[in-house]
Structure 1
């Protein structure tokens, strides 16, 4: 039975929901973030804020929340060509993928997460990739995750599990999952403290949180919030968490 986990934690909506999911399941949970030269560097500040808020508002989870790790990975910015690492407009590429795709990003993230999990004695790697509401990134697909799990387990000679709680749910269901895990308190924390916007905009406040409201990440988050509220989620999420 698995008791420890490492969560790939960016400070955004999805990774915060995955962190809550892990804290509800495992006895010891550590977090891992990456500074890869991203334009939306405000997410690095959001990570610290969200972790502090989780410890403060969910003391039961706080006792399970262990060390946070931040690794430098600016080689992705050196490779370039992505609107997440360069000051270029968001657009579709000739191959049908948006130029927000950073080639190899999740593959590198998971490889380094595997190495860290090995050193820290952690059994499960949790990541917020999703094949339902996503931009078509090939390194977010379920097949990719299964292949990485096999490669890491073989390459490290140690069984590692890659867990993807959001793989088959859409953004509205991700909001609902957060409510199920932590009640209105967690939903409010995600709205107020997490960061998803690719532009790094923290000056415009919407019902679903902070962001420019125009980039692909904001559009997905806003659409998910709309579906969540229409399904009665936010209005009925007043129950407090017992975490």
Structure 2
């Protein structure tokens, strides 16, 4: 394949633009913000699950406390009724004895219920602290996530801006190259990620392979307009005064 030396040298400009586009794409795929956000989102999901468990347990305890309080009120109402009957003098001695026995039983029942209620309330208080603590952690983690997402979005905006500029530069460069040379460049770039590179001091700057004597002789013997490729990486080799040939 033939191409004017000046045209071949312009491939270096295209390769430079493409290298930056590749860096932009690599940066987009490997942004640390993405991994950070995924980690924060995982933590946030776990915290929300924990918060739901705490809130559910708190609701269950609230219902149990309400049930216990209602039962205590029922026992107290029964005690009040029995005392009213005894104080009213409308019952006989045997009934009084039975009521007094029932009052003793109700007192023991009330004491046991109140002990249980106290334990439930202590558990509810501790669980309430867990709910508050987890809620605070959720809020803090949401703020951390929002900050990470802000930084990610800023980075993406910068990358989009850079890509748009380099795409524009690339569009301006493409018409400078004959179709055959451009197809070769694009094919090599698709396979090796670098389509063209400078020869500097007898070395291919695409793969950093230093040429042996035979290769140097072959390149030197090639006409100036002959398109030469690196036998190692396939990149189009651009010859200049820096090549050391």
In which range does the TM-score fall when normalised by the shorter chain?
under 0.3
TM-score normalised by length of structure 2: 0.16
TM-score normalized with structure 1 length = 0.16
Q: Which has the higher strand share?
A: 1
Q: Which has the larger radius of gyration?
A: 2
